[in-house]
Amino acid sequence: MATQADFDRVLEKLGARRAGSSWMARCPAHEDRTASMSLDFDNGKILYHCHAGCSQEALLGKLQEKPIEIDHYDYTDESGKLLYQAVRMEPKTFRQRKPNGHGEWVWKLGDVRRVLFNLPQVIKSQLVIITEGEKDANTINALGYVATTNAMGAVSPKKKDDNKKWSAEYNEQLRGKDIVIVPDNDEAGALHLEFLTKELHGAVKSIGVARVPEKYKDVSEWNPGTEAFSTLIKYAEKYSEEPKDWRLLFHSYEDFEHAPPLSFSIDRFLQNDAITAIAGLPGHGKTFNALSVCKALLRGEGKLWGWFQINERFERVIYLIPESTITPFKHRLKLMELYEEVESGRLLVRTLSKGPAPELDDKRLLWAVKGAAVVADTAIRFMEEGLSDNSASEMANSLSNDLLGLLRAEARCVLALFHAIKGAKAAEVMNLENMIRGTGELGAVLATAWGVKQIDEKAAITYVQNLKARDFEACGPFQLVMRPAIDNTHDIQMHKTPEETGPLYEEQPDMNPRNNSQKREAKFANMALYRAWTEKDPELSTQEIRERFKDLGIEVKDVTIRGYRHDAEKEKKR
């Protein structure tokens, strides 16, 4: 900011003459005989303009080559001996110079000792005010306070890390004092304040911040009287390292008290406010599984597959299936007797025929999901195509975020379907790694994951196993029967309950030819024993049968024995 006095000095130096409301002087950017440069003073700024047509850039460039000295500030040691000067120039710039000992100036400080402005007074005073420049410091000094500044003023917003502006020696000069910082009312001022508080922390007794009234840029522009300034200093806010709102980063105890309890739309199968996955190889019944879940949610009572209690009735279920077109999906809806729910409007479907997968953050979708169950079949289809250059983990992160976005939009639950890796077919175990393809990071956001695997194509039997259960104990694996049951009952049915289903390698003997002929033979032998014993004594308990096997040196688990019972009863019915 220039003052009228500064302007007068510039006019004098350039030999300007009054011309109407302006001033005219010779333009330094061209051979000027007629004084074609006008000068005006406007709102703290000196404006130059060449009426002969020189560009503003050329004009200012020339002026800056030979700036006019407006004011200078002495920097002295403790005893008042001059060390160097800061010189304020017009066009606005600061330069520093030191005496060379022979009555001349050197415009380079070199290794001259750097000190705080007004050092002799600073040493003596307990209260020291720090401003952003010598002019402001002098404004305050004139009010009877002791103010200082660091040479070269504020930190530039463009060069945040310019540490050269503060030296450890300044801290020694200010040690144990009460400091009040008066920052300028702009971005640079805020940065300078942050910078100073960091530098001073630990060295001084206290740090206060006094802000000049908002409508002024700095204390010089404000130009307060002693009384107004004293009030400002008296009520300076105490600077604290502690951010006022740091606790807001965390949950309060009340948040916990009001948190909804862990709840399930379908008991121990589908969690509310969470993402549940169904994963499996293509053609292994994922979509029918998901449709069966939808049917249960729309019905709102009874048990899913005769096993999982249905706790809630949904008024809206959203099925997004960008992997299918409308016609085959309509067929499946009819098979499952879900088509009527499309008509009632409770089941909202989008297939590929309506266009590619919508963005999961589509405003209309986020509106529609409120209170609803949402199925993404499959979830991978909702990864952003534009991200194909990015790593798989970035894509997985973005998908996780989108799925969680549905919950933030108050979807009641999200069911995400995933393809398994090809190797899952021959695998003897199911886990998150082989059942969810290319989405390792996604596993972390899933509350629950179920793996499905067809283990008997002819009989349409799928094996279902829990792969992940967050905060609850999941049931053991079980088996479902698909097509014949769907044709007859319009839903999937339980084939073998968790109480009857053994581990995968026992239940899919045909798929592991390498070591299964042995297992199959063992099973035939055990079944023969089982049949013989139970024909004689149909009341035999599972435990008693286990004991009998044990007497023969054969270890058989209860669940396997219940499986034998299941198979034997089926045989009888035939």
User: Which residues form the interface with Zn ion (CB under 5 A)?
Assistant: 27, 29-30, 50, 52, 54
Cβ 222 vs Cβ 139: under 8 Å = no
Name the minimum Å distance from CB 128 to Zn ion: 47
CB of 27 vs Zn ion, minimal distance in Å: 3
Q: If phi over 0 gives left and psi between -120 and 50 gives alpha, with beta otherwise, what is residue 554?
A: beta
Of the two residues 27 and 449, which places its CB atom closer to Zn ion in the complex? Answer: 27
What is the rounded (10 degree) CA torsion for 559, 563, 568, 569?
Answer: 90
Shorter beta-carbon distance to Zn ion: residue 61 or 476: 61
Q: How far is the CB of 10 from Zn ion (least distance, A)?
A: 17
CA gap 406, 413 in Å, rounded? 9
Beta bridge partners of residue 71, listed in sequence order: 88
Q: Which of 55, 489 has the CB closer to Zn ion?
A: 55
Q: How far is the CA of 470 from the CAs of 227, 266, 412, 449, 501, in angstroms? A: 65, 15, 17, 9, 22
CA distances from 438 to 246, 393, 396, 404 (A): 38, 8, 8, 19
For the chain, the straight-line distance linking the first and the last C-alpha, in angstroms and rounded, comes to 101
Confirm if 449 and 466 have CB atoms less than 8 A apart.
yes
Residue placing its CB nearer to Zn ion in the complex, 30 or 425? 30
444: enclosing H helix or E strand: none
Q: How far is the CB of 187 from Zn ion (least distance, A)?
A: 34
Residue 18 is which amino acid? R
Q: For the CB of residue 51, give the shortest distance to Zn ion in the complex, in Å.
A: 8
Nearer to Zn ion, 54 or 414 (CB): 54
**Listed residue (230, 187, 225) closest to 210, CA to CA:** 230
Please report which helix (H) or strand (E) contains residue 534, including its range. helix 513-536
The two three-digit tokens of residue 226, written as one number:
């002693």
Smallest separation, CB 55 to Zn ion (Å): 9
Query: What DSSP element (H or E) covers 564?
Result: helix 558-573
Q: How far is the CB of 104 from Zn ion (least distance, A)?
A: 33
Amino acid at 256: F
CA distances from 170 to 121, 198, 209, 459, 558 (A): 14, 13, 19, 86, 80
CB of 20 to Zn ion, least distance (A): 19
CB of 30 to Zn ion, least distance (A): 4
Q: What residue ranges in 305-425 does DSSP mark as E strands? A: 308-309, 317-321, 347-351, 373-376, 413-419
Tell me how far apart the 2 most distant CA atoms of the chain are, in Å: 130
3-state SS of 206-259? EEEECCCCCCCCCHHHHCCCHHHHHHHHHCCEECCCCCCCHHHHCCCHHHHHHC
CB of 34 to Zn ion, least distance (A): 10
Q: Which residues pair with 347 in a beta bridge?
A: 317
CB of 61 to Zn ion, least distance (A): 12
Question: For residues 276 and 415, is the Cβ–Cβ distance under 8 A?
Answer: yes
CB of 69 to Zn ion, least distance (A): 23
Residues in the chain: 574
